[in-house]
Structure 1
Amino acid sequence: PVFALSFGVYCALIVSILIGAPKANTSQPNVNEGGSVYLCPWSQGQSNCSVVHFDNEGDRRFHVNDVDVQVEFKSHQWFGATVRSHGNTVLACAPRYYWRTEHDAPFSDVTGTCYLSVDNLKTFVEYAPCRTGSHQSGGFSCLFQDGKIVLGGPGSFYWQGQLILATTKEIVKAYYPSYFLLSVTGQIQTHQVQGSYDDSYLGEHGPLLHRLAATDINNDGMEDLVVGAPMFMQRGSDGLRWEEVGRVYVYLQRRPLLFEPRLPHLGGTQAFGRFGSSLAPLGDLNQDGFNDIAIGCPFGGDDQQGLVLIYNGHASGLMDMPTQTLAGQWASGTFPASFGYALRGNKDLDHNGYPDLIVGAFGVDKAVLYRARPIVNASASLMLQPTMINPEEKSCTVSNGNETISVSCVNLSFCLSANGKHLPADLGFVVEVQLDHLKQTQKESSVRRTLFLDSQQPSLLKTITMANGGRTCHDTRIYLRSEGEFRDKLSPIYVTLNFSLDPLASLDHHGLRPILKYQTTHLIEQKAQIQLDCGEDNICVPDLKLAVYGDRTEVYLGDDNSLTLTFNARNEGEGGAYEAELYMVLPPEADYSGIARNNQSLTQLTCSYEAENQTRSLVCDLGNPMKSAPIPLEIMFHYHVLLGMSTASFYYFVLCPTVVSRPDKLLFPPPNWRMSHSLQEEQDIGSEIQHVYELVNNGPSMISQSVLELRCPLRAQGHDLLYPVEIITQGPLNCSSNHTLNALKLKVGNTLARTHVHMHRCMQAHTHTRTHLAYKQYVLECSAQYRVKNMPYAIAPKLKPSGSTKILTPVMWNKPESQYIVPLWIIILAILAGLLLLALLIYVLYKMGFFKRSNPYGTAMEKAQLKPQASSEA
C-alpha cells in the first residue's frame, strides 16, 4: 500500500502506522504549515489515514505588565519531523518550534517541543525541556529506552548540543496544561562547557549529519551500533570534485560499553547519493539468527530516485554487499523524490512471521510499505556415474528412426531439499539440466555430444512439488552420440543444473510468494570426460611431423603439366592426435585435381577444397584421433606456367593451437582467503588464474614472423575483474601489452617453477575477489587469434594461415568464511586502553563540575509561570 502524505519524512510502526508530515497545514488558527502526524491503520488491501490531534491550539500569548506578548511560534515548526513509538507510548516532536525566552526580547529562540501519549493516543501531554534557557533546541532526535525518553538537542549552548533524559511517568506527572514551564522530577541532562565545544552538534539526528541505530547484529546478546555519515565525501571519477557518497560505520559491542569498529566500512557508490542518511534495524529478516539493517541512500539511483539497501548480519558484523536493493518508483523531477529519506522496520504487520519495512519518500509526499516474503533454504546435488565415458562400452540402446543402435551411457542423478520458517506446506521448484552447455556456448555451430536417453534431447526441464523440510531425487541416463556426429573428444562435457522456485506456484495465505535465500547456489556443475587412447592419465601429448615431396621438379611453358605431391604425416608423441588436420594454401598457378586413390598403401582421407575471394585452400582430415602409424597421402594438381615466372611455391602447415586454463574453473572467494587492506603479495588481491597459449608450426614451410593476440576482459559489469600480473615466454618471443602489468608492484612468486616446461606462452593474472562477491556465477571468456605475417620466400602466398580459439573458465560463488581473526594481544590492549580512557573521562567531568546539581529555576518570567507550590518555594 502507498499512503499519500503532505510530507512523508519520518515513520514509526506501532499496531498501526504513524507517519509524520512536518509541512502539513492543520486547523490550528494563524499557524502556517505547522506539521501533523497521520495514523494509518494497516490491513491488507486498504488504508484509511486520519490526523492525530496532538495539539489543536494556535500560538499562545502571555500578559506581562498589561502587554500582550506572543511567547510561542508554531508556523513552520516541523511538527512530525520526529515520531517514535514503544508499545502504547508515542512521542512526536517539532524541532523548529520557537519560544520567546524573555518577554521583552525582540527575538525568539528555536527550542523545540514534543507531545507525549502513554495511553494509545487518547490523551496528550506537552514536554518542552529546552524552554528553560536560551540557545537550546530539542526534538531533532529521540528514542525510548527502559521506560525513559532520550531527547537530542543539537542547538543547545551555541550548538554544542545536549542530551536530555526523563521517565515517561514523571513527564506525565509533572504536566499541567496552564503552565508553559515544567519541572520534571529526576530529569538529567548534559550542561554547557567551554566555548571550544561550540558547533559540535551533540544529539544531532538530522539528515545531514550522523545517523544512529542500535541492534544486536552478531547475535552475541549485546547491542551493536551502526552510524551513518551521509555527508562523507570522496573524489569522483574525474579526480577533481568531491562527491557526497556517504559511509556507514559498524561498531560491535565486545563487552559492556566497549565497542570495536568492524572493518572495512560500508561505503556508498552513488555520487551525491548520501548513503547512510537513514538507518533502520529490521530484525532477523532472513531467519538466520542474525539481525539485519536497512540503509537509505535517498539521492542514489540512475535517476536519483532514491535507494534502500538491505544488509544481512552475520557473526562478524554486516555483509560487505547488500542482499537486496529497493529503488524508488518515482523519477526525479524538479525536486528529488528522496526515496529512503526515512525508514522504520522490525515490525511484523501482516503476521507472517517476518518483519516488514516502511520507506518514506521525502520529495513526493509518500510512504511505501514493503512486506517481507518467506525465505526458503534450498540446496541441490548433481552426480554422474561414471565420470569417464568409454566409447567402446555400449551398454544402452536408442531408437534412431527405424533402427536401434547401441550407445555408451552413464547414470545421472540429482536431489533437491528445502526447508524454512513460516512456509507453505508444499513448495514448488523448476529444475533445468543442460548437457554440454558451455561447449555449445563456445562453438555455436557444434552439436551437443551427449543427450538424455529417454528423450534424446540435450536438456531436461522438470517441475517438482515437495513438502517443507523434504527431499526428493531424480535418476536418469545420458548417452554419448556416435563418433560421426561430432569431432571434439578433448573438451570436458559439462553438465549443469539450475533450479528456482516455481513462479506459477500458488501464494500462501498471506498473499505472498516465498523467495530463495540470498547466496543460494542456484547453479551446480559436474563434468565428464570421453575416454581417449592416451594412457592411464587420459592426456595425449601429440608430436606431429610432416614430410613432403613431389614427382617432378620442373614444369614447362605451354605443356599440360600435372604435379603430384606426396605427404607423409606421422605422430611421434604419446597417444593419438585429436582433430589433426593438414592445411594447404594453393598458389594461383595450381589447380586442385583430386586425391590419388589407386594405391592401396595410401590412406583414404577426406579433403575439402575451398575458394573464397581468389584464395584457395585445401584441408584434409588426418584422423580423430591420428594414430602413431604414418599417414601417406597423394594430392594431384594441374599446373599453369605463366610467362616471366621463374619459381612458384606451395606452403604447408600443421598448426596445432592449444589453450589451457589453470584451474579449469574458479571459486570465489578462494578457500582460506583473508581480505588484506595492504596489498603486498600477488595472492592478496584474489585467486590466481593462468592461461597457457601454445602455437606450434610443424612445417614443412617456415614462418619468419607471426602474431598471437590474446584478449581477456579486465572489467565486467562496471567492476574490476582481472589484475594482470606477468607474461611468461619461452622461445624467441617478444611480448607487449596495452595494459600495465602488475601495476601495484605486488610481490610475485616463482611462477616459472609452476609452469609446464613445454608451455610456449603463459599469461598469469589474478581475479579481484572483492568485486566478485556480487556475482553468483560468471563465465570468463578469453580469445586467442593468430596469423602469419611474413615467410622467408621470394614468392609469398596470398593467403597466410590464421585462426582463432576461445577458452572459457566458469567462475562460481563460494560462501566466504569469516574474514577477520583478531589476535588476543590486540583484544587485551584494546580493553586496557578503553579502561584508561574511561577513567580519564570521569576525572575531566569531575573537574568540570558535571556531577554538581544546577539551579532548577530560571528567569523571573519562568518563576511567574511555575505551579503555585513551586512559586512559593522559590
Structure 2
Amino acid sequence: MNEDYSEWTKVSNGKTETYFGYSVGLAHLTSATNNVLIGAPKDNYDQCKNSGFSKTGVIFSCSSTTDDSCSKFCVHNLESTLGRDIQNVSNAWLGVNIDINPRKEEFVTCGHRWKSVYVDDQYVKTFYMKGFCVVTTLNGSKSRRLLLMKSDNITAGGTSVKYTQDGQKIIVGVLGRDKYPGGIILFPNVGPNPDGKPMLLSSNIDNNYAGYAVASGKFFNNKYEYSVMGVPRDGSGAVLIIDETNHIVQRLQSESKEIGSYFGMKLCVADVNKDGLDDLLVGAPMEPGQSREEGQVIVYLSDGKKLQKKLVLFGDKEEGARFGSAMTLIGDIDQDGFIDIAIGAPYENNQEGAIYIYNTNKEGLPSTYSQKITGKDAAMGKDMKGFGISISDSVDVNNDSCPDFLVGAYLSNQVRLLFSRPVLDLNLELLPESQKINFAEYNCPNHGNKAVCFKVKLKFSYVQNNNQIPPKIDLEGQLATGSQSQMNLSRGVQSFGFKLETGKKLEKEFHIIVKEHPNIFQPIHITIQMALAKNATCKICPILRTKTFLKKIPFELECGDDDKCTTDLKVSASTTLKYLLYQKEEKFDIKVVVSNGNNHAYNSFATFVFPKYLQYIQAIKYKVQPDFECSTDSSAEEDMVHCTLGNPLPKNTNSTFALKFSSTGTIDQPENAINISVKTKSFEKPQDLKNNKITIKIPNRMKASTEFYGNSNPDLLTSETKNITVTHVLAIYNHGPSPLFGVTLNVTLPSLLKERPDLIQRICKNPSCPTSFDWQTISKGSNRQVKIVFIVNEKIHSVKKDLKYLETKAILARKDHRLYIADKNQWPWKISVQTAFQIEQEPIAWWIILLCILGGIFILALFIVLCWWLGFFKRNKVNRDEDQKSFAASEKLSNEPEENNVVPEKNTNSDDKFL
C-alpha cells in the first residue's frame, strides 16, 4: 500500500449536479501553468464567450499543488465556427471524456450529445445528435475541431476518444444506436481540420453500442498498432480488434450467460507480463455475481498470434459496485519495474465508490488486489459519492520519482489527487543458532519445568535508493512464532522498535521456547512483520516493499536421510469386565498395548472414544515412554482421551498402559453394549493402517430386584357386617440397581362382579375402570400401586351361603428380558388377593344332644365292666409275719462291728467345727 490518501491528497471541488470529475486528465508540468484537467459535462461556459447555450459541459484547469484552484478552460469558441442556426450545444456533455497526448502538450475532449440542425424550405428544424470533439493545447492557446459532422450516417460521435500510443492518431468512438451503425473514426493528428477515416460496422443490430469504448495496442507485433472497440450490447458483449483496412482481426465474445453485462464498456491496454506485446483488459461492470451488478474485469494475454483469456478480476464482489467502470495504467507505483493498474468501482457501498490497485510482477497480473482505497478513505471529511468513475494516467507531480494520479467522484462533484510514496527495500537476515531443532534437548527452564529453547538473530539494513527516502528511519516490528512455540515464557508474539541508518546493520536477538508436544513434522514458523513507526518524523515517509519475512526451522529427526519416519503401529486392547450393570456406578480398566514395528514414531497418539455416560478417571502406566500422558476432550458428541505414546516411540518397542473408567449411571436408555474404540495415529503407509484401530464391546446388562405383593382391607367379612367397602391393593417395588422397562399388569376381577352386580360393585375414579396397566419405566427405588375398590351388599351372606372369599388375581409381566440377568425365571409374577367370608352355622336339635349324652354314659359303663372283668380292680394280700422276721434279722446284723474296721482317733486340735 503506497497510495497516500490522507496528508498527501489534494482536493478539487465543483458545483453541485455538474458531474464535476466525470472525466480527469493529468499532464506533465512543462510550459503549462496548470496540469490537472477535470471534466464537468453538465456545467455551463458562463466565463467564456456567451454562446447563448446552457449546460454545454465544461473542462476545468486546476493546479496540482493547491486545493480548489480551478478555472474554466475555454477549449473552443463554440459560436465562431458554427452559428446557432446549424448547431445546438446545449446539453452537449462536453468533457464527457479527456485524453492527453502522450507525445505533445495537448488533449482531446468530446461532447457526444452535440446536435447539428437541419433547416428545410419551410424553416422546420431537425436535430441530429452527431457529437463533436475538440483538440486543445494545454495552455489553451490553440484548439481545433474534429469534423465529425461530415459523415451523415453517424450518431453520438465522441462517446469515447483515445490517442494512439505514438500520439499520431486519434480514435473517436461512434455509438451504434437506432438506425446508425457504430464503430470508430480514425483521425490523423496533423493539420488544422483533418478529415477522419470512418471505420464503421456494416450494420447495426439491436443498438449494439459499437464504439462505446476505444483503445489501441501492439498485440501481435511491436510495430503495428491495432484499434480496439467495445460492443457492449452485442448479446452479452463483445470486443473487436481491427486494422486500418477495417478488417476484424479478432473478436472477443463475452462468456457471460447474462444479457446486459456490458462486456466491452471499458478497455485498458497494457503489457502486464512484460513480454513486449500488449495485453487487453476488458471491463464488464454490469456482470452479476452472487448479487446484481457486481462487475468484473477479464484479462486477455497475447501469445503473438491472438489474445487468450487468462484470468478474471472481481474486486470485493459487492452488490451494485460496477467494478470495471474505469481502468487505467498508473505507472510503477511500487517501483519493482512492472506497471500497475487501478480499477474503479464507483457505486460500491451505496454509491460511495472505491478503486482497486493491482501490482503486476514477473508472474504477470495477480488475481488479488494489493490495495483498496474507498471513497470514505479519500473523503477528507466530506460526503463522497461515485469515487472511481474516472482515473487519470499517472504523472510524477511532486518530483519524488513516484507516480501520482487523479480519481473522480462525479456524484459528489469532487476530484482527489493521490500521491504515491517512495518504496524502501528493507534487508532482513534471520539467522537461527542451529538449522534444526533438537526437541529432546531440554536446555532452558519454563515455569519450573525444562523446555527446548533456541536463539534467533535478526540483522536489518537498507539502502537509500531514492532522494525522498531519509538517511535515518524509525521502524517497528513484531516477531511471531506460531502455535508451536512462544516468547518470554508465555506469549508467541513480541514487539520491538529501533532506529535504522542507511548503510549500517542493526542486530537483535530473540529467545524462543518450543511448546510441549509439538508437531515435529511441521517446522517452527518465525514471522517478522515490519512497518514504519507511528511517530516517524519523515516529511514524506516511504512504504516498505516487503513487510513480512518468514523463516521455517525444522526439527531434527532420526528417520534416515528422507526424514519421513514411516512407522507401523499395531494396537490391541482388553478388559476383565464381563458386563456393565445399567445405571450402576462401576469402575473398570481398558488395557492397551501399542507396538511399533518400523521407524521411530514421532507425534504418535492413541485416541479413546467413548460414550458420555462413561467418565475417564486416570491412566495407569505399565511400560511407557517418559513423556507419556493423557488428556481429555469433551467437545464432540462423544468424549475422547488423547494419549501421547512418546516422542518418539522407538522402533520395535511397545507402550503398555490402561485407562480407568467409571460408569456414571446417567444414561437415559439402555443399549446392548457400550463401545470404546482405541485408534493410534502416526505417519504410516495406507496399507499399514488396518491394525491401528480396535473397538472394545462391553455388554450392558440390567438387574432389578422386584417385589410384587397384594393385600385386602378388610381381610374378613362376617354376617354382622353391613354394606362395606373392600379394597384390594396390588403393589410393585423396584429395589434396583437397574430400572424396570416395559412392565405390564393384568388384573382378573372376582367372577361374582358380573354374575351378581346387585351383591358386589366396583368403584372407579376412571370411568373406563381399567384392568390392564402399562408402565414404561419403574426406576430404582420407585413403586407402582393399584387399588381396586368394591362395595359388598350385606345380603351376600344369605344369598351366597357357600361363598368362601372374594378373589382378585394379578399377573405382572415384563416385555423384554434380553438385557436382564438373574431373574428371568421369576417372570411373570402371579399373585392372588382374597377377602374371606365367615360362614353362619345352623342350631343342633335337642334329641341329638340327648342321644349323644346317653351314648356317652353307655360307653363309660361298658368300659368299667370291661376293666372289672380283666381284674383291674383286684389286689394281692401281704404276709405280715414273714415281713417282721426278716426285718429283725437285718437290724441285728447292722449292730455287729466289722473285722477290719478301724475307727480313727479324734483330732482334738482341729479348728474345724464340722467334718
Whole-Å separation in 2 of the counterparts to 1:602 and 1:130: 93
- Aligned with 1:410 (options 454, 457, 468): 454
Counterpart of 1:514 in structure 2 is 543
Q: 1:701 to 1:2 in 2, by over 3 A?
A: same
Whole-Å separation in 2 of the counterparts to 1:368 and 1:324: 17
Counterpart of 1:90 in structure 2 is 107
- Cα deviations across residues 673-720 of structure 1 (Å, max 9, x unaligned)? xxxxxxxxxxxxxxxxx9x9999555654599xxxxxxxxxxxxxxxx
1:526 aligns with 2:553: yes
Whole-Å separation in 1 of the counterparts to 2:609 and 2:662: 15
- Aligned with 2:150 (options 125, 129, 132): 132
Counterpart of 2:58 in structure 1 is 36
- Cα deviations across residues 545-603 of structure 1 (Å, max 9, x unaligned)? 455548xx9999xxxx9999787654443568966699999999x999x9999xx9999
Counterpart of 1:120 in structure 2 is 139
Shift of residue 12, structure 1, vs aligned partner: 0.6
Q: 1:151 to 1:702 in 2, by over 3 A?
A: same
| Cα root mean square deviation, aligned | 5.8
- Aligned with 2:386 (options 338, 344, 360): 338
Contact 2:135–2:146 under 8 Å retained in 1: no
Contact 2:354–2:375 under 8 Å retained in 1: yes
Q: Structure 2 counterpart of 1:142, which letter?
A: V
Counterpart of 1:758 in structure 2 is none
- Cα deviations across residues 75-105 of structure 1 (Å, max 9, x unaligned)? 1111222323345323333222222255645
Q: 1:289 to 1:701 in 2, by over 3 A?
A: same
Counterpart of 1:261 in structure 2 is 308
Counterpart of 1:305 in structure 2 is 352
Equivalence map 1:318-467=2 (5 Å): 318-329=365-376, 337-378=385-426, 380=428, 382=430, 384-386=432-434, 389-390=437-438, 393=441, 396=443, 408-415=452-459, 421-422=465-466, 423-435=469-481, 437-439=482-484, 458-467=492-501
Shift of residue 114, structure 1, vs aligned partner: 3.7
1:496 aligns with 2:526: yes
Counterpart of 2:336 in structure 1 is 288
Q: 1:639 to 1:143 in 2, by over 3 A?
A: closer
Whole-Å separation in 1 of the counterparts to 2:498 and 2:143: 59
Contact 1:142–1:149 under 8 Å retained in 2: no
Shift of residue 479, structure 1, vs aligned partner: 4.9
- Cα deviations across residues 320-360 of structure 1 (Å, max 9, x unaligned)? 3333333233999xx99332221112211122212112111
Equivalence map 1:682-761=2 (5 Å): 698=694, 701=697
Tell which deviates more after alignment, 348-357 or 143-152: 143-152
Counterpart of 1:109 in structure 2 is 128
Counterpart of 2:180 in structure 1 is 158
Shift of residue 39, structure 1, vs aligned partner: 1.4
Q: Structure 2 counterpart of 1:219, which letter?
A: K
Contact 1:230–1:244 under 8 Å retained in 2: no
Q: 1:295 to 1:470 in 2, by over 3 A?
A: farther
Contact 1:152–1:204 under 8 Å retained in 2: no
1:78 aligns with 2:99: no
Secondary structure (helix, strand or coil) at the match of 1:346 reads coil
Counterpart of 1:205 in structure 2 is 213
Counterpart of 1:658 in structure 2 is 681
Contact 1:586–1:651 under 8 Å retained in 2: no
Contact 1:219–1:315 under 8 Å retained in 2: yes
- Aligned with 2:300 (options 245, 250, 262): 250
Contact 1:281–1:292 under 8 Å retained in 2: yes
Whole-Å separation in 2 of the counterparts to 1:407 and 1:696: 31
Counterpart of 1:230 in structure 2 is 284
Aligned length: 606
Q: 1:525 to 1:416 in 2, by over 3 A?
A: farther
Whole-Å separation in 1 of the counterparts to 2:160 and 2:453: 70
Contact 1:11–1:360 under 8 Å retained in 2: yes
Whole-Å separation in 2 of the counterparts to 1:243 and 1:367: 24
Contact 1:544–1:571 under 8 Å retained in 2: yes
Whole-Å separation in 1 of the counterparts to 2:293 and 2:320: 5
Q: 1:496 to 1:586 in 2, by over 3 A?
A: closer
Q: 1:477 to 1:120 in 2, by over 3 A?
A: same
Contact 1:542–1:571 under 8 Å retained in 2: yes
Whole-Å separation in 2 of the counterparts to 1:494 and 1:630: 28
Tell which deviates more after alignment, 263-272 or 600-609: 600-609
Q: 1:127 to 1:601 in 2, by over 3 A?
A: closer
Whole-Å separation in 1 of the counterparts to 2:608 and 2:625: 13
Q: What is the TM-score with the length of structure 1 in the denominator?
A: 0.56
Contact 1:161–1:203 under 8 Å retained in 2: yes
Q: 1:470 to 1:286 in 2, by over 3 A?
A: farther
Q: 1:400 to 1:633 in 2, by over 3 A?
A: closer
Counterpart of 2:326 in structure 1 is 278
Secondary structure (helix, strand or coil) at the match of 2:456 reads strand
Q: 1:649 to 1:424 in 2, by over 3 A?
A: same
Whole-Å separation in 2 of the counterparts to 1:457 and 1:193: 69
Counterpart of 1:3 in structure 2 is 12
Whole-Å separation in 1 of the counterparts to 2:396 and 2:616: 83
Contact 2:301–2:310 under 8 Å retained in 1: no
Q: Structure 2 counterpart of 1:129, which letter?
A: L
Counterpart of 2:814 in structure 1 is none
Whole-Å separation in 1 of the counterparts to 2:356 and 2:663: 74
Q: 1:629 to 1:263 in 2, by over 3 A?
A: closer
Contact 2:527–2:548 under 8 Å retained in 1: no
Counterpart of 2:748 in structure 1 is none
Whole-Å separation in 1 of the counterparts to 2:619 and 2:369: 66
Q: Structure 2 counterpart of 1:424, which letter?
A: P
Whole-Å separation in 1 of the counterparts to 2:523 and 2:54: 74
Q: 1:75 to 1:701 in 2, by over 3 A?
A: same
Shift of residue 508, structure 1, vs aligned partner: 4.0
Q: Structure 1 counterpart of 2:372, which letter?
A: T
Shift of residue 622, structure 1, vs aligned partner: 9.8
Q: What is the TM-score with the length of structure 2 in the denominator?
A: 0.53
Equivalence map 1:178-189=2 (5 Å): 184=193, 187-189=195-197
Structure 1: where are the runs of 5+ without partners?
63-68, 172-183, 440-447, 641-646, 663-689, 705-791, 797-874
Whole-Å separation in 2 of the counterparts to 1:793 and 1:426: 86
Q: Structure 1 counterpart of 2:148, which letter?
A: C
Contact 2:605–2:682 under 8 Å retained in 1: no
- Cα deviations across residues 733-787 of structure 1 (Å, max 9, x unaligned)? xxxxxxxxxxxxxxxxxxxxxxxxxxxxxxxxxxxxxxxxxxxxxxxxxxxxxxx
Q: 1:379 to 1:90 in 2, by over 3 A?
A: same
Tell which deviates more after alignment, 104-113 or 17-26: 104-113
Whole-Å separation in 2 of the counterparts to 1:475 and 1:103: 91
Q: 1:327 to 1:570 in 2, by over 3 A?
A: same
Q: 1:390 to 1:320 in 2, by over 3 A?
A: closer
Structure 2: where are the runs of 5+ without partners?
1-9, 30-34, 215-231, 233-261, 701-816, 822-915
Whole-Å separation in 1 of the counterparts to 2:171 and 2:679: 77
Q: 1:381 to 1:4 in 2, by over 3 A?
A: same
Secondary structure (helix, strand or coil) at the match of 1:342 reads strand
Contact 2:163–2:171 under 8 Å retained in 1: no
